[in-house]
Amino acid sequence: MRLDAGAPDFEAAFAALVDARRDVDEDVSSAVTTILADVRARGDVAVAERTVQFDGHDLAATGWRIDRATCRAALDALDPALRDAIELAAERIRTYHAAQKPADRDSTDAAGVRLGARWSPVESAGLYVPGGRAAYPSSVLMNAIPAKVAGVGRLAMVTPTPGGVINPLVLAAAEIAGVDEVWRIGGAQAVAALAYGTDRIAPVDVIVGPGNAWVAEAKRQLYGRVGIDMVAGPSEIVVIADGDNDPEWIAADLLSQAEHDPTSQSILFTDDAGFGDAVADAVTRQLTTLATAATAATSWADNGAIIVVPTLADATPLCDRLAPEHLELAVADPEALFAMVRHAGSVFLGRHTPEAVGDYVGGPNHVLPTGRRARFASGLSVLDFMKRTSFLACDAASIAQIGPAAVALATAEGLPAHGRSVALRLGS
């Protein structure tokens, strides 16, 4: 799609782009409710039956767990260059997330009241890893490492192994990330097992990780019983680029998002119409040699856009309306544009920072809010695996100072036992 921000019909066309729902609506809600109730009631038996039904293998024969030795063997069998790459990625992700660990607070104020907050990790977390095409080792690292950095004692991974087949890269990544348990189950039944627990699988406190519509719906229905990460939609990228970029580089960036899924979205804003044309041509050319061309071409045709703006500064308020998961600022001085951006999951600054480097080895998390959720949500972090306990301590002198106000408010709110519990401590 080609849009010109100066055209009279631009606002209508852009508004349609902002409002487009790219999610595939699949109403699995009642089917998932049934599976959750079944696993809650019948535990492992229900999980095993659904695994035969959906994944086509018998857990009694294939085994429920993949043991540590198998993960270790998968790691040892890796091509050394690939192993080095995974280890570099893990190290950079670990370092970035270690700096996210929040500080405790503890201080005493002028009234003599001590107050503060103490952070602690959740005891256990579950990590969903899709089977098949979307079984990415990078996703294992990005979900597991923040949990381990947070100090989670037990990290249980579930992954479907359709037909019994396992992706060794995923096992190697689990080993590097320090995953404690690997279960060869998937779908809503695996999420239910993690949330409720079964005879074999102890329950967890938090469940994270990407999945299909069934997995997403199971997490949504269990939200509140366990903590979950944000429900994710199709991936997206916005590139803001001037005419001094190499069109081939920008075309590759747009395609790197488009190749994920037909529902992915890639949008270029540029102030140079000729450059926009050159990128469009480069996209067409690169598609001819891309192994993922079928997916990428559909995504680009259905959801891609090149939008010409008078100046790049005009792109930032439009970009804020999209609140994109990924935003590249491919200009010589990205700082000025970055200062104008309000809503984006992750930003890639300058011509030499393709979004894909952040998918693997940048360090920041690649699990990011999609579908305009960057207006209010953040990428996965150590905080998703921790919780904060606030605390307060008064002595006789400090309760005498602030207590009377509490009594007044409790009385006004019609809560006399609240008032009494404070009043009894006054003047004692």
Query: Binding site residues for substrate, as ranges?
Result: 235, 257, 260, 326, 359, 413, 418
| Minimum separation from the CB atom of position 55 to a second copy (A) | 21
Please say if 97 is a catalytic residue. Answer: no
- Residues flagged as binding site for Zn(2+): 257, 260, 359, 418
Q: How many CA atoms lie within 13 A of 417 on its CB side?
A: 0
Tell me the closest approach of the beta carbon of residue 38 to a second copy, in angstroms.
19
**Minimum CB distance to a second copy smaller for 102 or for 178:** 102
In Å, how far from its chain's centre is CA 375?
14
* Nearest distance in Å: CB 378, a second copy: 4
How far is CA 356 from each of CA 157, 165, 352, 353, rounded to the nearest angstrom?
25, 28, 11, 8
If the CB atoms of residues 58 and 333 are measured against a second copy, the closer one turns out to be: 333
Annotated binding residues for NAD(+), written as ranges, equal: 128, 189, 212
CB of 64 or CB of 369, closer to a second copy: 369
Could you say which of 57, 97, 326, 343 is catalytic? 326
3-class SS shares of the chain: helix, strand, coil, % to 5: 50, 15, 35
Q: Which helix (H) or strand (E) holds 279?
A: helix 273-287
In this complex, which beta carbon is closest to a second copy, that of residue 73 or of residue 115? Answer: 115
Specify the residue for token string 């809560």.
415
- HSE-CB at 144 with a 13 A cutoff on CA atoms is 30
Question: What is d(CA 428, CA 130) in angstroms, rounded to the nearest whole number?
Answer: 62
How far, in whole angstroms, is CA 331 from its chain's centroid? 27
Tell me how far, at minimum, the Cβ of 61 lies from a second copy, in Å.
29
Active site residue: 217, 236, 259, 325, which one? 325
Minimum Å gap between C-beta 108 and a second copy is 12
Q: Are 284 and 251 in contact (CB under 8 A)?
A: no
Q: DSSP letter at 226?
A: B
Q: How far apart are CA 139 and CA 154, in angstroms?
A: 18
For a second copy, the closer CB: 6 or 285:
285
C-alpha–C-alpha distance, residues 161 and 57, integer Å = 8
Residues taking part in catalysis: 325-326
